[in-house]
A and B are shown apart, each in its own frame.
Chain A
């Protein structure tokens, strides 16, 4: 009895007694790398805080050291505790979320980077190929300009993916497409590290690419990509960052970063929820148009890159926004001929 009373007191302390569903609090389930990762989780948490502030809703982030195994238990606990919206950043929670969501039809759930079909689940996808297209275009323009420090005359650029999968090849295909659009003669070396967490592998692979005449390497490999950036710094060449603004990790050696604005997605969904138009059962895509993906501000490299290249990239961005250019999406369209 006392225990139940304690729980209900805590629940009511959160102000969850209100009748309106969209007044109920919001939970943010943090993924494996945890808060403080200076990447995906931290970025999403920023959006979470902004969303709560803008809407006046209550909310809490929840971390677990055993987030994979506790998937269903945590999602159920959030639902039992009367949270109205549960945003889950952990990729492996896709299946458990479907199982839990059907038991709590009045609760709203959000899953990122995958599509889960259920009436009360909103899926969020990013148009990473659009941002990658711009990154590829910039790399292809820069790679033959020997007036830029560290650039070799050969039109060869590289990309390292964490694993050979559609989710990663979506970035790579966009990058290749953008590069070819800028310079049809450009050669893009593609390699996979088969690891998302080992900077040493990234370092070695990137150095090997540099020896083959590559001067710019786009990393789509999480923690392994830290080694790509390190290699660029050591060799005096260039890396392209991913997910967050990684330009500052090796100022001057990270040409740009292809940022995935997880914060924008989280903030937008919280606002939609509060306004009563949460996209239940729908897949929302965040691309260039939604400010969901894009290149970094290039604080450290903008002065190195000739303005005409940046103007070309900006023009390509406008063409994507206007629909004039439709960048290939591996996840929806399968593999293009240039990336079999």
Chain B
């Protein structure tokens, strides 16, 4: 009965197919990039081997890849949570900026506090600020049916400009020639997991949240209701679910995770808020959520892929003449193929509306 009611084909397809499905776009992306590499005079097999070695070739390289994947797991998760309730939140990028600045500000302001107090305080600040950042688009979407794609996208620009202004003015580190806050106190630092790598406890937080997300989505009433509301809002409302409230809750949750992504990035890796804090983790997170099909394992693997590309894409330049643009093309092609799925989601949304 449920498969019919939900109006989705995904339940009818065998599990193995659902797992293998994203591999098609990946293979296509790598094949296309191989052609570009070949045309540019590189041997694609050598380049891919080098990429694999730089991404996973030693424990140190794996740690670097996991470190690069950490913000992407969180932004992918933040996006997926909103997707699930039928809200297409593209404002996670802004949440990273405001959350990151909030955590850094707590981290360099209350320097006297012990780690047991300061670290949670800084993370909570990031979560709260990120969550609040999504309050208005959540309300507008739930109450007035204002398109969240527009509001959250616009909020990104505001977040980026607002943090840029703060970090150039009131929060600027004394004596710094570029836009950066002071370094956070050591007590505010997330512990490193495999020193000297930048891989830190933020990765464990991200993995734990992925686990909770899997449990929540599959085992709890709220998780089921959210999924229902995302698939067919009218049916969910008819079954007595308060859909607008659900959308607000999920937007706040999405913002909270986005803010946390920024907080963890500030406290675990960068150690401050600085110009160039996020190179677009929030946007890559959309691709991560789509490529991962909204499943916990899928999000992890997609984040791992983009993390590996970001990490190895930089360091292969020490050993080859492959410019960063080739990695951009590879990453971009994977995104295009992943986002091809987006059309499918919109078609489904329209069909159910």
Contact = CB atoms under 8 A, between A and B. Distances in A.
B5 to A, nearest CB: 44
A221 B277 CA distance: 19
A65 B279 contact: yes
Contacts of B276: 32, 67-68, 92
Contacts of B269: 69
Interface stretch (B206-214, B238-246, B307-315): B307-315
Interface residues of B, number: 48
Given A3-B53, A63-B324, A70-B68, A76 B196 contact: yes
Contacts of A27: 318
Contacts of B58: 3-4
B315 A77 contact: yes
Interface string A55-68: 00000111111111
Interface stretch (A163-171, A173-181, A236-244, A310-318): A163-171
Contacts of A204: none
Contact of A167 (B177, B270, B271, B277): B177
B328 A65 contact: yes
B164 A68 contact: no
Contacts of B179: 163, 196
A162 B164 CA distance: 12
Contacts of B178: 91-92, 167, 196
B317 A62 contact: yes
Interface stretch (B11-19, B167-175, B288-296, B297-305): B167-175
Contact of A14 (B175, B319, B323): B319
B56 to A, nearest CB: 8
Given A3-B53, A3-B58, A165-B172, A70 B177 contact: no
A163 B164 CA distance: 11
**Which of A32, A66, A95, A162 gathers most chain B CB within 10 Å?**
A66
B180 A92 contact: yes
Contact of A64 (B265, B314, B321): B314
B183 interface: yes
A103 interface: yes
A286 interface: no
B57 interface: yes
A74 interface: yes
A160 B328 CA distance: 35
B176 interface: yes
A168 B311 contact: no
A314 B169 CA distance: 37
Contacts of B346: none
A13 B318 CA distance: 11
A277 interface: no
Contact of A6 (B49, B164, B271, B315): B49
B165 interface: yes
B200 to A, nearest CB: 11
Interface in A142-162: 162
A193 to B, nearest CB: 9
A194 interface: yes
B261 to A, nearest CB: 12
A81 interface: yes
A1 to B, nearest CB: 11
Nearest to A61: B317
Contacts of A99: 196
B207 to A, nearest CB: 19
Contacts of A38: none
B103 to A, nearest CB: 14
B242 to A, nearest CB: 40
A7 interface: yes
Contacts of B68: 66, 69-70, 73
Given A66-B310, A167-B176, A74 B279 contact: no
**Which of B183, B279, B313, B321 gathers most chain A CB within 10 Å?**
B279
Contacts of A114: 177
B198 interface: yes
A283 interface: no
A72 interface: yes
Nearest to A331: B175
A62 B314 contact: yes
Contact of A11 (B49, B196, B270, B319): B319
Contacts of A268: none
A69 B66 CA distance: 13
A284 interface: no
22 contacts: A3-B53, A4-B58, A6-B50, A6-B57, A62-B315, A62-B317, A63-B317, A64-B310, A65-B310, A65-B314, A65-B324, A65-B328, A69-B269, A70-B68, A73-B67, A77-B64, A114-B177, A164-B172, A165-B175, A194-B165, A196-B168, A196-B275
Closest 8 CB pairs of A and B: A167-B177, A64-B314, A63-B324, A10-B319, A194-B168, A3-B57, A68-B276, A62-B317
Interface of A: 3-4, 6-7, 10-11, 13-14, 27, 32, 34, 60-70, 72-74, 76-78, 80-81, 83, 91-92, 95, 99-100, 103, 113-114, 162-168, 194-197
